[in-house]
Amino acid sequence: MAKSAPDSPAPISHAGRVSIVASRYNSEYTDALVSSASETIAQLAPDLEVDVTRVPGAFEIPVVVEAVACDEEQPLAIIALGVIIRGSTAHADLIAQSITKTLQETSVSHLIPVIHEVLLVDTAEQAQARALGDELNRGREAAEAAIAMIEVMGKFAG
């Protein structure tokens, strides 16, 4: 897996909304992801409104992402944030596979970028590096991907 993200997108002046759907589980990490994503959006797209919906755990993220995508006032992008720390069973892998498949289906069927940063990690140290660190901060990267995709999808708006 790559250890560096693409260059940060240029700031944009789109008006609209970005929705963040984040798990409350592993809150030390998910709170940091939400904060990083929100701060990055504020820097790169100050005209965008950000709304945050918290759900109990990672498994609950896809149903809320689907509800947001079906909202009458669709957001320009949806960011899914969560942290799953693998245990000694296959449960975490099954949850992660289900989330990935469902988020992709929602994105494609509604033509809304759904940025998937529901992290599946082996250890708390890996979660810390990706949520609390500067080098691999997945909250920041999710926001940057959302901004880049808003620009890309804007080319197809009728």
Q: What share of the chain is helix, strand, coil (3-state, %, to 5)?
A: 50, 20, 30
In contact, 22 and 30? CB cutoff 8 Å: yes
Calculate ∠ Cα 94-54-83, nearest 5°. Answer: 40
Calculate ∠ Cα 95-100-102, nearest 5°. Answer: 95
| Cα 80 from Cα 65, distance rounded (Å) | 7
| Cα 124 from Cα 83, distance rounded (Å) | 10
Nearest to 9, CA basis, from 153, 155, 151:
151
Q: Supply 18's token pair.
A: 């970005």
* Residue numbers annotated as active site: 91
